[in-house]
């Protein structure tokens, strides 16, 4: 007679390391709700503002989950987002909204293919490839815009890509949910996702099992740049302009969101749902620190501390 399986003692909290992001999210939310209630933290408009400010980070972090799960890293996402805002704004002024969308997608695709080619074909580590691309993308954005903001005078584009709302719900929330849903299904329920996790979990073993690991790494780097381009399109739509400064420093928050959510920096493990919660948690912390009146420098210190804590908690203890 087969024995019935039972859940491990302690259930949810017995696996605290695996569920730390969800526990932490609830704890931090409750702390802010209690200490900042008189400053409007729980105001629906403030909570929706957290979503608006987090959506672009979340979009990039979903793709970063694939990159990290495959054992690579992409430090260029923030700069690519900034470059995309400029190319989109310039294209809209010449070819209209459709031209702007195509220009944005082309920017992400071109950068991603270049990053992927250098990493998988030339053999330059993705850390160095994307670090160099960070500077290149920012430099190109500054050059073609002459360091000036490029206005977007298309209400339709701005509404669809970040500026609109359906009732009280910002369009950015729909974009975030869409990308999260696609990313979750692709990572957990598709052959591609299984190959990504296998590649990061053990590249040599993955190759022996018939997986083209170079192709997988190329694809995740292209995916990351395209997600950064989409984030740039959303930045441009929300702020109705292209500026090279947009997205600057976002790579820190993007990586932190993915690692906080349970994605390993060393590959082979990732969860899109956790990444979204991690992104929202970082947005909530930023919002709470602002309401507390802390300076920007102190917010940067908090972000750095989050990454250190996330890396420490993501490690397996023997």
The Cα–Cα gap between 265 and 192 comes to 19
12, 19 in Cβ contact below 8 A? yes
**Is residue 244 pLDDT above 90, yes or no?**
yes
The Cα–Cα gap between 120 and 221 comes to 10
Tell me which residue has tokens 């987090």: 54
Q: For the domain that residue 289 is a member of, what is the CATH number? A: 1.10.3470
The Cα–Cα gap between 271 and 137 comes to 29
Domain assignment of residue 9, yes or no:
no
Domain assignment of residue 227, yes or no:
yes
241 - beta bridge partners? 151
pLDDT tens string 214-239: 999 999 999 999 999 999 999 999 99
Domain assignment of residue 195, yes or no:
yes
Could you give the 3-state DSSP secondary structure of residue 293?
A: coil
User: What sign does the dihedral 284-254-172-297 (CA atoms) show?
Assistant: positive
246, 55 in Cβ contact below 8 A? no
Please tell me the total number of residues recorded for the chain in this structure.
Answer: 318
The Cα–Cα gap between 225 and 54 comes to 18
229, 84 in Cβ contact below 8 A? yes
Domain assignment of residue 3, yes or no:
no
The helix or strand, by DSSP H or E, that contains position 170, with its residue range, turns out to be strand 169-170
150 - beta bridge partners? 242
pLDDT tens string 179-215: 999 999 999 999 999 999 999 999 999 999 999 999 9
Going by C-alpha positions, the residue among 306, 162, 308, 129 that lies closest to residue 235 is: 162
Domain assignment of residue 91, yes or no:
yes
Total tally of structural domains belonging to the chain: 1
Domain assignment of residue 307, yes or no:
yes
Higher pLDDT, 126 or 25: 126
Indicate the average pLDDT of the chain: 89
pLDDT tens string 150-161: 999 999 999 999
Quick one: average pLDDT of 87-96? 96
The Cα–Cα gap between 312 and 89 comes to 41
Provide the pLDDT for residue 291: 87
Going by C-alpha positions, the residue among 232, 253, 223, 243 that lies closest to residue 54 is: 253
Provide the pLDDT for residue 129: 96
Going by C-alpha positions, the residue among 129, 226, 126 that lies closest to residue 183 is: 226
**Is residue 32 pLDDT above 80, yes or no?**
yes
Domain assignment of residue 207, yes or no:
yes
Domain assignment of residue 15, yes or no:
no
Q: Which domain holds residue 137?
A: 39-311
């Amino acid at each position: 007679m087969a024995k019935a399986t039972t859940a491990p003692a302690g259930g949810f909290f017995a696996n605290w390391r695996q569920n730390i992001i969800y526990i932490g999210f609830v704890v931090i939310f409750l702390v802010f709700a209690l200490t900042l209630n008189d400053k409007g933290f729980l105001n629906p408009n403030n909570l929706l503002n957290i979503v608006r400010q987090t959506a672009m980070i979340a979009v990039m972090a979903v793709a970063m989950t694939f990159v990290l799960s495959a054992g690579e890293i992409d430090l260029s996402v923030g700069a690519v987002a900034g470059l995309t805002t400029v190319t989109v704004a310039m294209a809209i002024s010449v070819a209209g909204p459709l031209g702007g969308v195509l220009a944005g997608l082309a920017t992400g695709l071109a950068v991603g293919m270049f990053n992927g080619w250098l990493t998988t074909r030339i053999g330059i580590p993705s850390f160095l490839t994307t670090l160099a691309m960070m500077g290149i993308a920012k430099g190109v954005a500054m050059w073609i815009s002459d360091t000036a903001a490029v206005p977007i005078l298309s209400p339709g584009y701005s509404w669809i890509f970040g500026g609109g709302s359906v009732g009280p719900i910002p369009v950015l929330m729909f974009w975030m949910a869409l990308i999260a849903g696609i990313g979750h299904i692709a990572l957990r329920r598709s052959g591609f996702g299984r190959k990504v996790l296998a590649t990061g979990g053990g590249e040599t073993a993955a190759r022996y099992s018939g997986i083209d690991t170079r192709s997988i790494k190329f694809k995740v780097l292209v995916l990351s740049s395209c997600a950064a381009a989409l984030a740039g399109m959303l930045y441009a739509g929300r702020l109705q302009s292209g500026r090279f400064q947009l997205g600057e420093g976002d790579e820190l928050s993007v990586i932190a969101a993915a690692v906080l959510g349970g994605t390993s920096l060393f590959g082979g493990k990732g969860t899109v749902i956790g990444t979204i919660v991690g992104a929202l948690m970082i947005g909530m912390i930023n919002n709470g620190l602002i309401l507390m009146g802390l300076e920007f420098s102190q917010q940067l210190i908090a972000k750095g501390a989050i990454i250190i804590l996330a890396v420490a908690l993501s490690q397996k203890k023997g």
